Amino acid sequence: MADFHMEQKSNAEKIKEELNSLLEIGNTFHKKWTKGELVNRHQEYQNWYTLARKAIARFLPERLEEFKSYYEIDPNRKQLGYDTFVIQDFLKGIVPAKYSHFDSKGQACTCLANQLAIFASMIVNVDSILFDLDSTIYYDYQENELEAAKNVLKINVRAAGALAGVVIEKHLKHLLSSHALEKEVKVKNPGINELVMPLKEAGVIDVPTFQKITYMASIRNICDHDKQSTPTKEQVLDLLTQTNWLIKTVS
C-alpha cells in the first residue's frame, strides 16, 4: 500500500506540473495579446482552451460553465456589446457595429484573464481535489472487494473470511499511510494485529475500535491459518459486517 500511495503522490505531482505548465502557456499569450502580438492568436488559444476546458471539467466542474461563458457566444444573446463580447467574437474578428472605437483586444484579454483566474484557483485547490478523487476511487475499490467476499460466502466460508481479511489489511495500511505511520510497523510481512498496533499507540483509533479489530483478526486467522478449526458462516458474516463498518467509519 505504501508503494501504491507513492505512485499516487507521483501522479498527483505530475498532474500539478502539467496544470501549472498549462497556466503558464495561458499567461504567456495573454501577455502577447495585451501587447498586441496577435499572430496565430486563433490556433494558440484554441489549443489551450481545449486542454484547459478538459482540466476544469475534471477537477473543477462547478466552474465549467462560467469558464466556457468567457469564450462561447451565448446563443440567446440579443445584442453585442461590452457586456456580451466573448473571446470567440475576438477570434472571428466580430465587433459591435454601434461602437465607433470598440476595444475588442482589451475585452478579449479581460475574458481570458477571468478564465486564467478560474484555472489558477483550481490549481490552488488541486491537492484537496485529487485527495477527494483518490479517496472516492479507493473506497469504491474496497467496497467492490467486500462485495466479492459476500458472493464467495455463498460458496466457501473460509475463502470469504480470507478476502475480508485482505480488505482489513489494505484499509489499515491506508490509515498508516494517511497518518505517516508506515515506519512504525516493525515486521516484514505484518498481519492485522501488527498493522493496528501503531494506529492505537498514535491515537488514530481508540481502545474499543482496537478491540473490535483484534476480534476481526481472530476470525480472519481462523479462516486463513487455523486448519484445526472451521469458521462458521455466522462468524464470517459478522466479520464482513465489521469490515464494512471499518472501511466506512474509521479514517
- pLDDT at position 129 is 65
Long-range contact set of residues 197-201: C-beta below 8 Å, sequence gap at least 24: 199/172, 199/175
Same domain, 11 and 117: yes
Q: Is the pLDDT of residue 47 over 70?
A: yes
Q: At 193, which CATH number? A: 1.20.120.330
Q: Is the pLDDT of residue 199 over 90?
A: yes
Residue 53 pLDDT grade (very low, low, confident, very high; cuts 50, 70, 90)? very high
Task: Dump strand ranges (E) for the chain.
Answer: none
- Residue 70 and residue 87 in contact, taking contact as beta carbons nearer than 8 Å: yes
- Residue 87 and residue 45 in contact, taking contact as beta carbons nearer than 8 Å: yes
Most confident of the ranges 24-33, 65-74, 240-249: 65-74
- pLDDT at position 188 is 85
* Residue whose C-alpha cell is 469458521: 231
- pLDDT at position 6 is 40
Q: Give the C-alpha separation, 136 to 132, whole Å.
A: 6
Q: Which of these three, 124, 152, 180, is where a domain ends? A: 124
User: Which residue segment(s) compose the domain that 134 sits in?
Assistant: 127-249
Same domain, 10 and 51: yes
CB atoms within 10 A of CB 104: 16
Distance of CA 86 to the CA centre of its chain: 32
Cα dihedral 83, 88, 92, 97, rounded to 10, equals -10
Same domain, 168 and 90: no
Q: Which of these three, 98, 124, 150, is where a domain ends? A: 124
Provide CB contacts within 8 A for 116, sequence distance 6+: 23, 26, 27, 30
Q: Is the pLDDT of residue 236 over 90?
A: yes
For residue 180, what is the DSSP state?
Answer: T
Same domain, 50 and 136: no
Phi, psi of 126 (to 5 degrees): -65, -30
Model confidence pLDDT, tens digit, residues 177-194: 888 898 899 888 899 999
Same domain, 82 and 58: yes
Most confident of the ranges 11-20, 65-74, 152-161, 165-174: 65-74
Q: Which of these three, 90, 124, 158, is where a domain ends? A: 124
Same domain, 84 and 157: no
- pLDDT at position 131 is 59
Model confidence pLDDT, tens digit, residues 95-130: 887 777 888 889 999 999 999 999 999 888 777 666
Q: Is the pLDDT of residue 67 over 90?
A: yes
C-alpha torsion sign, points 32, 37, 41, 44: negative
Number of structural domains the chain divides into: 2
- pLDDT at position 200 is 93
| Inter-CA distances, 62 with 56, 58, 68, 90, 197, Å | 9, 10, 12, 26, 41
Same domain, 185 and 211: yes
Across the range 191-198, mean pLDDT stands at 92
Same domain, 107 and 172: no
- pLDDT at position 68 is 96
- pLDDT at position 136 is 59
Q: Is the pLDDT of residue 5 over 70?
A: no
Same domain, 96 and 63: yes
Same domain, 13 and 102: yes
Same domain, 181 and 135: yes
Same domain, 34 and 103: yes
